[in-house]
Amino acid sequence: MSHVFHRHLQQQYPTAVGGDGPYLIDSEGHRYLDACGGAAVSCLGHSDAEVIEAIREQVGRLAYAHTSFFTNEPMEALADFLVERAPTGLSSVYFVSGGSEAVEAALKLARQYFIERGEPQRKHLIARRQSYHGNTLGALATGGNAWRRQQFEPLLVEVNHVSPCYAYRDQAPGETAEAYGERLAAELEAEIQSLGPENVMAFVAEPVVGATLGAVPSVPGYFTRVREICDRHGILLILDEVMCGMGRTGSLFAAEQEGVTPDLMTIAKGLGAGYQPIGATLVSDSIRQAIAEGSGFFQHGHTYIGHATACAAALAVQRAIEARDLLPRVVRLGEGLQQRLEARFGEHPYVGDIRGRGLFRGLELVADRSHKTPFDPSRKVHAAVKRTAMANGLMCYPMGGTLDGRQGDHILLAPPFILDESH
Ligand code: PLP
């Protein structure tokens, strides 16, 4: 018996022993094409020589220095790199070890910002249903995925949830995309009014929804309206780009394609591409300034924030993506992937929708295409697809449908940017 407390205690996992470009290799020599980057993580594949060398070099010089005593060179350089490329106004970066921590930091930064500004009554958070923002308690409370929250409800702080932007299921017949976006904006506005705009702290959303919906972008104009509403009421906009950021959708940040700048933006996964665990929260100038000129410090902190080796790895990953001009490739390969998926599965009786941006694509599986009826969740169709794919040497990221029939099972594809057409 394995003494590891595995993710699933009734499953056997193959042992991964090596990586070769976009492939993972198990201890029996089977090769798996990593078509989902694990969970949209491994954007440079599994054996990038430059990144490996950068890690080796950094560990040899300085592996780690606690940030309450020192800053370090890779952390400073990575912050410069990100801020130079981030939407204008995001001027500093708080480094953590992963996506959930990045979301927790964003929530606490938002709260502390309003305390520093003398608005302590602003404590309500609005997020969206069918969303996922991480598994730590604050992030889990923010997420609106009923299945993930269910048994931990008593431990979760109150968060108000509005509808996600999910055109395939929720745009009404005959309703234009613009009218649908407007309807969602009105719902957000109504929620804010019911809480009292002066009591609302932040609105949290993923620009392209990953784990819970399967690569679902919003309709054009939705985020512009969200930004306007937040601005009008002095509410912070937190965009969670943990999954969809760092080039995954074809631009470095998915928010660029929406034409909006958030006040706080969370990133992780593709930031370090799995070579080291790292995440970050990008912070607007006004939040940084309020805290700098107020108490002077963010009342937070983990042991591994700004980890030198993790920052060196992430810097090497991001430099490689830029030097190899991989983002135009993400756009081109992504369009090709969409076309091939449509050609192969567009008329498939069990595929209801094929969507996404860049190398971030989702297939929604349904029992009946014309009525968009999801499979009965107890059949665990997504798990069967994952098992079958693995048996055939392919990794894809599955997610189950919801019990209320509001979404079907889906398969998420988020392959490394280094693929070529042959893969
Ligand atoms: N936010 C989003 C949008 C995610 O997709 C995830 C993970 O899938 C997280 C946050 C949590 O990230 P992590 O698993 O690194 O804690």
Give me the residue spans of the domains in the chain: 16-47+325-413, 54-323
The lowest-confidence range among 319-323, 324-328, 371-375, 414-418 is: 371-375
Q: Which long-range contacts (CB under 8 A, 24 or more apart) does 372-377 make?
A: 372/168, 372/169, 372/408, 373/405, 373/408, 374/401, 374/402, 374/405, 374/407, 374/408, 374/409, 375/350, 375/401, 375/408, 375/409, 377/401, 377/402, 377/403, 377/409
Q: Distance, CA 60 to ligand 1 centroid (Å)?
A: 30
Does 210 contact ligand 1 (Cβ within 6 A)? yes
Same CATH topology for 16-47+325-413 and 54-323: the answer is: no
Q: What is the pLDDT of residue 387?
A: 95
Q: Whose CA is nearest to atom 14 of ligand 1?
A: 99
Element (DSSP H or E) covering residue 25: strand 23-26
Residue 1's pLDDT is 84
pLDDT band at 406 (very low <50, low <70, confident <90, very high): confident
Q: What are phi and psi of 99, to 5 degrees?
A: -70, -45
pLDDT, one tens digit per residue, over 281-315 is: 999 999 999 999 999 999 999 999 999 999 999 99
Render pLDDT for 146-205 as a digit per residue (tens, 0 to 9): 889 999 999 999 999 999 999 999 999 999 999 999 999 999 999 999 999 999 999 999
- Ligand 1 centroid, distance to 368 Cα (angstroms): 31
Q: Which CATH class is domain 54-323?
A: alpha beta
**Strand-pair partners of 258:** none
Residues near 62 by beta carbon (within 8 Å), at least 6 away in sequence: 72, 308
Distance CA 381, CA 150 (A): 21
Task: Give ∠ CA 223-360-206 in degrees, rounded to 5.
Answer: 30
pLDDT at 403 over 70: no
Query: Using an 8 Å Cβ cutoff, are 242 and 266 in contact?
Result: yes
Distance from the CA of 240 to the center of ligand 1, in angstroms? Answer: 9
Question: Residue 146: its pLDDT value, please?
Answer: 87
> How many A from CA of 31 to the centre of ligand 1?
26
Range 3-29 average pLDDT? 96
pLDDT at 408: 84
Task: Give the three-class secondary structure for 285.
Answer: helix
Residue 129's nearest CA partner among 166, 104, 85 is 166
- For 24, the 3-state DSSP assignment is strand
Cα(254) to ligand 1 centroid in Å equals 15
Ligand 1 atom 9 nearest Cα = 134
Per-residue confidence band for 210, with pLDDT thresholds at 50, 70 and 90 = very high
Contacts for 389 with CB less than 8 Å, ≥ 6 apart = 395, 396
Tokens 């404590």 correspond to: 123
CA distances from 84 to 53, 80, 189, 321 (A): 25, 6, 33, 15
Q: Which amino acid is at 140?
A: L
Supply the pLDDT for residue 315: 99
Q: What is the mean pLDDT of the chain?
A: 96
pLDDT of residue 402: 73
- In terms of DSSP bridges, do strands 394-395 and 216-217 run parallel, antiparallel, or are they unpaired? unpaired
Determine how many CB atoms are found less than 10 A away from the CB of residue 370: 8
Is the pLDDT at 333 greater than 70, yes or no? yes
Q: Would you give the distance in Å from CA 363 to the centre of its chain?
A: 17
| pLDDT score of 378 | 84
Q: What is the pLDDT of residue 309?
A: 98
Does residue 127 contact residue 203 with C-beta atoms inside 8 Å?
A: yes
Q: Which of 202, 191, 97 shows the shortest CA–CA distance to 157? A: 202
* pLDDT score, position 401: 75
Range 371-384 average pLDDT: 90
Q: Report which ligand 1 atom has the smallest distance to the Cα of 206.
A: 3
Residue 421 has pLDDT above 90, yes or no: no
For CA atoms 15, 20, 22, 23, the dihedral sign is: negative
| pLDDT mean over 60-78 | 98
Tell me: pLDDT of 31 over 80: yes
Q: What spacing in Å lies between the alpha carbon of 243 and ligand 1's midpoint?
A: 6
8 A C-beta contact, residue 243 and residue 265: no
Are 204 and 125 spatial neighbours (Cβ–Cβ below 8 Å)? Answer: yes
- What span, in angstroms and rounded, lies between the C-alpha atoms of 101 and 105? 6
What spacing in Å lies between the alpha carbon of 135 and ligand 1's midpoint? Answer: 8
Report pLDDT digits (tens) over 110-151. 999 999 999 999 999 999 999 999 999 999 999 998 889 999
pLDDT at 108 over 90: yes
User: Chain centroid to CA 410: how far?
Assistant: 16
pTM over 0.95: yes
What is the predicted pLDDT for the residue at 147? Answer: 86
Query: Would you say 270 and 254 are in contact if contact means Cβ atoms under 8 Å apart?
Result: no
Q: Ligand 1 atom closest to Cα of 101?
A: 16
Candidate of 131, 136, 212, 242 to mutate for ligand 1, largest count of ligand atoms within 8 Å of Cβ: 242
pLDDT at 245 over 90: yes
Ligand 1 in reach of 240 Cβ (< 6 A): yes
Reading the block at residue 190, the tokens are 């109504």
Right CATH for 16-47+325-413 from 3.90.1150.10, 3.40.640.10, 3.40.50.720, 3.40.50.300: 3.90.1150.10
